[in-house]
Structure 1
Amino acid sequence: MKKLFISAAIVLGGLTSFASTSPITSSIVKSISIQDEYTEIKTEEVPSAVTDALKKAYPDAVLNKAYKNTASQYKLEITVGDKVGSLYANADGSWIKK
């Protein structure tokens, strides 16, 4: 009789562990990547307002490459001394932080 109660307790205890469900957590991660499509242009095609702003802000800078997007924003790859970097500007010569 004792064995019957013990086996019933073990069976019922085992069934309850299968009946319990663990909480399902689903995390949805949305990432939005906005990438402006810049097309390479000749450095001579950069507006004078942009080149004047570049000369004023970085007098020793050398303009290596220039790119333009559909919103008339310019990406300038420059070299100052031994450092290489990119700057972004509007057509009127105002700088854009990206």
Structure 2
Amino acid sequence: MRKLILAFVLSFVGFAAMAQAASVSDQTDKTAVIAPVQDFEEISVSDLPEAVVTAVSKDYPTASIDKAYKNASNQFKLELSLEDGTSGTVYADAEGNWIEM
């Protein structure tokens, strides 16, 4: 009888520990979805400074700018797509210098 009670207690503790771990990871996933937005707001591609457009055409001649975003620091996030179907995101300042973020 003691073995049965001990097995029940250990099983209960094991299930409780797994339930706790699952709820922690669920909270982490929800935070990660919100974080990448940062403080960039979408702008029209036509509103980009000429220096940024020139830098894209110089360094990525086969790229087209799909979307553009701007933050309060006057930095730009650009979503580019290349002719071969690949895409990526780059960051630049108002003078057309590339930024690593």
**TM-score by structure 1 length?**
0.63
Specify which of 56, 62, 70 is matched with residue 72 of structure 2: 70
Specify which of 59, 62, 67 is matched with residue 57 of structure 1: 59
- SS of equivalent to 2:46: helix
Gaps of 5+ in 1: 1-32
Amino acid at match of 1:84: S
| Mapped partners of 2:100, 2:69: distance in 1 | 16
Matched, 1:95 2:94: no
Q: Please say which structure displays the higher CA radius of gyration.
A: 1
Structure 1 consecutive aligned stretches of length 4 or more whose deviation exceeds 6 Å? none
Aligned pairs, how many? Answer: 66
Q: Indicate the RMSD between aligned Cα atoms, in angstroms.
A: 1.7
> CA deviation digits over 1:19-42, x for unaligned, max 9?
xxxxxxxxxxxxxx8x74000000
Specify which of 34, 44, 47 is matched with residue 46 of structure 2: 44
| Mapped partners of 2:89, 2:71: distance in 1 | 15
- Higher share of residues assigned helix: 2
Gaps of 5+ in 2: 1-34
Amino acid at match of 1:49: A
Give identity over the alignment, percent.
40
| Mapped partners of 2:98, 2:54: distance in 1 | 12
Match in the other structure for 1:29? none
- SS of equivalent to 2:79: strand
Matched, 1:86 2:89: yes
| Mapped partners of 2:95, 2:46: distance in 1 | 16
